[in-house]
Amino acid sequence: MKTLRPALYLLLGGLLTVIGLELTLRLLPVSSATMVDYHVSPTILTYPPHHDFTVSTGWDMKNAQRLRSNNFGFVDTQDFVPNPSAIAVIGDSFVEANMLAPDQRVGPALARVLNNATVYSLGGPGSSLLDYAERAQLASQQWGVQRFVFVLEVGDVRQALCGSGNHQGPCITPGSGALEAFRRPAASGLKTWARHSALAQYVFSQLKFNPSALLASLRSKKTAQHTGENQSDPVSPQLARAIIARFIDALPPTAQPPVLLIDGPRGRSSTDMSWNLAHMALLKEMAETAGARMIDLAPRFDAWHATSALSLEVGPYDGHWNPIGHQIAAEAAAEALRGD
């Protein structure tokens, strides 16, 4: 019996440590359960309507924000109601921008530039082109929206492929180019529990600890070392054209041409980036042929850097736009909407 006591003491000490960390972290702005799911549409991920949650970045919980979703589960300070004069700003985490204060994001910035116009922000982290079309359809059918601004990340065409991890609804099969239905699996019981644990959220959300991704990364490095093969763009020009055509065809008819803002490379250079930029060039060509207004933000960002040493990114740990970047994007969108 005496030999068991050290083990019991060790177990008890570990348990008390875990409980202490859990209670301490609950007092700090650790990212909390977002509860994202298909709450408003079978193809659109949102938060539960009027859901309160916290987000922050990294081990030191930078840029902490306490957020509340609106009546349709989007991060916006206003509820969405029928309003044909409203403008919908649609995109991924560049639109939601949950690391910034509400008035610093592109939607509210656009509203100010347009003299307090009504702007609905329909952002959704981890989404891509076909997801944006789904949200545009929702805005058109639910609220009668006729004016759209899409904020496009340079990887949005490639991320529309099934298995990319960056789509929430229908996706394109890489081989055949066929449209495939997709619905994210429901969270397991363990994952649901982890969402409500401050310690688990800190480890997996703040520290980004992902055992599966780590093992997959190690395997891929070994494979690359053994094969020595060069990777090729998984999206051929024909497949990119098919993805873009599906996006354009899925957009609702509007009284005013949609505005598409394209993020620039902002100094980033890689093989993936060169592929992405080629896809964006094709998107620009096809969208303009269909009547859309295309705005390449790269020249505007370059002009800013030519006159200022300040970055346009949240920080070296986060490549999303900071408030200056959002303001530049909002001014570009306003010019296009006004027909300047």
8 Å CB contact between 111 and 119? yes
Judged against a pLDDT cut of 60, whether residue 312 lies above it is answered with yes
8 Å CB contact between 328 and 297? yes
Give me the mean pLDDT over the 274-300 stretch.
95
Q: If you average pLDDT over every residue of the chain, what do you get?
A: 91
Residue 289 CB neighbours (<10 A): 9
Q: Which of 304, 177, 308, 150 is nearest to 236 (CA)?
A: 177
Give SS3 for 332. helix
- What is the residue extent of each domain of the chain? 16-73+187-209, 84-182+237-340
Alpha-carbon span 102 to 111, nearest angstrom:
12
High-pLDDT (> 90) share of the chain, %: 77
Alpha-carbon span 158 to 201, nearest angstrom:
29
Q: What is the pLDDT of residue 24?
A: 93
For 199, residues 6+ apart whose C-beta sits below 8 A from its C-beta are 18, 21, 22, 25
Tens of pLDDT, residue by residue over 138-188, are 999 999 999 999 999 999 999 999 999 999 999 999 988 899 999 998 887
Tens of pLDDT, residue by residue over 28-63, are 999 999 999 999 999 999 999 999 999 999 999 999
8 Å CB contact between 179 and 246? yes
Place of tokens 């539960």: 48
The percent helix, strand, coil of the chain (3-state, each to 5) is 45, 15, 40
What is the residue-wise DSSP string for 213-235?
HHHHHHHHHHHHHHH-PPP--SS
Name the β-bridge partners of 260. Answer: 150, 294
Of 70-74, 222-226, 331-335, minimum mean pLDDT range: 222-226
Query: What are residue 140's phi and psi, to 5 degrees?
Result: -70, -45
Q: Which of 46, 133, 35 is nearest to 88 (CA)?
A: 133
Burial of 72 (0-12, 13-18, 19+ CB in 10 A): buried
CATH code assigned to 84-182+237-340: 3.40.50.1110
Length of the chain: 340
At 39, which helix (H) or strand (E)? Answer: strand 37-41
Tens of pLDDT, residue by residue over 84-123, are 999 999 999 999 999 999 999 999 999 999 999 999 999 9
Alpha-carbon span 219 to 217, nearest angstrom:
5
C-alpha dist (Å) from residue 266 to 76, 192, 233, 303, 332: 27, 37, 21, 12, 17
Alpha-carbon span 64 to 26, nearest angstrom:
14
Alpha-carbon span 62 to 67, nearest angstrom:
15
Judged against a pLDDT cut of 90, whether residue 227 lies above it is answered with no
Give me the mean pLDDT over the 254-277 stretch.
88
Q: What is the pLDDT of residue 213?
A: 65
Q: What is the pLDDT of residue 228?
A: 44
Give me the mean pLDDT over the 214-235 stretch.
61
Letter string b/e over residues 84-102, b meaning 16 or more CB atoms within 10 A of that residue's CB:
eebbbbbbbbbbbbbbbeb
Provide the token pair at 81: 């109601």
Tens of pLDDT, residue by residue over 5-30, are 777 878 888 899 999 999 999 999 99
Distance, CA of 327 to chain centre: 18
8 Å CB contact between 88 and 139? yes
